[in-house]
Copies of this chain bind each other. A is one copy, B any other.
Amino acid sequence: MTGEAGRPRDPEVDRRVLSAAAEVFGEDGWGRFTVDSVARRAGVGKASIYLRWPNKKELLASCLEARITPVADIDTGSVREDLVRLAEQMLTAFFGESGRATTRLLLEADRIPGVAERVAQLRQAQVLAARAIVRRGIARGELHGGTSVTLLLDAIVGGCLNHALAAPAHLRPQVAAGLTDYAGELVDFVLGAVTAG
């Protein structure tokens, strides 16, 4: 092979393109998401993108998959610690550099053909892993046997969501700086309803 396709790929270009894709999607949504706009934002040629991704759906899917952290890895042996890490992950997803893309996904994922299915799978895996955290807590006797897994997770995951979405633009840096403290406080508050003992 000769030409660009024969050269080793530059991981820095991958990183820049994926980061630009998250920005463009976050700001403009799927309706205006084009390979052209991502190339311009990343400062690379369109050919460099098509060399790596066959079309814009694959580009967006790849960008999102790189940004959705697998909850499955959380298993510290303590339900409080697991839930605090889960809350921190969620808050980081909403306040990090791809925060706007994360929020937009909530709204648009189900309407993007080819992306919807993959995001739904990742989400389903996250939900199952989060439910497993609570079930292990019940099995270890840390939580009441009758604890509602759904309500507990709605309160914690939703609390993070509301904390992130309700923050006015000018307060976001301040709120972002307090994420770790907030995660601990929210989990302790909600666990107050269901802690065995």
- Using a CB–CB cutoff of 8 Å, the interface residues on chain A facing chain B are 28-29, 31-32, 100, 103-104, 106-107, 110, 120, 123, 127, 148, 151-163, 165-166, 168-169, 185-186, 189-194
Interchain CB contact under 8 A, B159 and A163:
no
Are A189 and B157 closer than 8 Å at their CB atoms?
Answer: no
A–B complex contacts, Cβ < 8 Å, 12 sampled? A29-B31, A103-B107, A151-B189, A154-B158, A154-B186, A155-B158, A155-B189, A157-B162, A158-B158, A161-B161, A191-B193, A192-B192
Main secondary structure of the interface of A (DSSP, over half): helix
Give A2 Cβ to nearest chain B Cβ, in Å.
42
Q: Report yes or no: A107 in contact with B104, Cβ–Cβ below 8 A.
A: yes
Distance in angstroms between the alpha carbons of A168 and B160 in the assembled complex: 20
The interface residues of chain B lying within 8 Å CB-to-CB of A123 are 166
